[in-house]
Amino acid sequence: MALLKYEVVNLYRKRAKHYDFTANLYYLIGFREQVYRRRAVTELNLKSGDTVVEIGCGTGINFPMLQEAVGPGGKISGIDLTDAMLDQARRRTQKNSWSNVDLVLSDAAEYRFLDGIDGVISTFAITLCPEFGIVIQNGCNALKPAKRWVILDFKMPFGWLSHFAPFAVFITRPFGVTADIAARRPWESIKKYLQNTSLIEFYIGFVYIATGERGEEGC
């Protein structure tokens, strides 16, 4: 059964302090998290001075890569449901003296995007939100034309690889992933609301990057 939102908050409050370390442990089983994250940021196609919103920014693991993309003249808005995770993101921001990062404590489904942004990204987060379709639509409406929405997340593999699904759920359970959550399909909302979409799979189909662009006529 999928976790309720208060359960997600409680889980990530407990994991916040050591989140970065425990996430890196997956390298021991060939899971190249940082490689996938960097690819997702690259898919945003950001430029210096751009504004990007990260849904479920967590401890700010992606901030260094996003900083490289938008530069000091750009802006990063990090949105997260859990106060303890944002505390870690704030420490990272202060340690690096990033003055262009805005952190917002909010349920993703209730967050009000500012109009005219240049990118929206979510990595290993939006699947935890049952209203992911609303979040994707709202983000699309806020994007400038031809700007991108990118999701990096877990999923159930297709075909015969689906037999390995119990293993995937088992290894991701510490981060709140259940079979119900893994069965969600946010990439279908990317296809519904955006144009020029793509779906790239990694880790024999257990991980994907979905990308879409806002059309000239909106979402």
* CA–CA gap between residue 181 and residue 193 (Å, rounded): 21
Residue 109 is predicted with a pLDDT of 97
Give the pTM. Answer: 0.89
Q: What proportion of the chain, given as a percentage, has pLDDT over 70? A: 84
Say whether pLDDT at 4 is over 60. yes
Residue 75 is predicted with a pLDDT of 98
Say whether pLDDT at 205 is over 70. yes
Query: Which is higher by pLDDT, 8 or 36?
Result: 36
Joined together, the tokens standing for residue 80 give 């997260």
Residue 28 is predicted with a pLDDT of 47
Parallel/antiparallel/unpaired status of strands 101-105 and 51-55: unpaired
Residue 10 is predicted with a pLDDT of 86
Residue 176 is predicted with a pLDDT of 52
DSSP 209: E
For 71-101, b/e burial (b = at least 16 CB within 10 A) is eeebbbbbbbbbebbbbbbeebbeeeebebb
114-151 confidence digits (pLDDT tens): 999 999 999 999 999 999 999 999 999 999 999 999 99
Q: Counting beta carbons within 10 angstroms of the beta carbon of residue 35, is it exposed (0 to 12), middle (13 to 18) or buried (19 or more)?
A: exposed
* CATH class belonging to 5-212: alpha beta
Say whether pLDDT at 161 is over 60. no
- Lowest-pLDDT range, 48-52, 75-79, 128-132, 166-170? 166-170
Residue 67 is predicted with a pLDDT of 98
186-197 confidence digits (pLDDT tens): 999 999 999 999
Distances in Å between the Cα of 88 and the Cα atoms of 53, 68, 131, 215 are 18, 20, 25, 36
Residue 147 is predicted with a pLDDT of 98
Mean pLDDT of the chain: 88
Query: Which is higher by pLDDT, 177 or 40?
Result: 40
Residue 162 is predicted with a pLDDT of 52
* CA–CA gap between residue 78 and residue 51 (Å, rounded): 11
Say whether pLDDT at 52 is over 80. yes
For the residues 200-205, what does the mean pLDDT come to? 83
Residue 18 is predicted with a pLDDT of 81
* CA–CA gap between residue 216 and residue 145 (Å, rounded): 5
Residue 178 is predicted with a pLDDT of 62
Joined together, the tokens standing for residue 170 give 């088992």
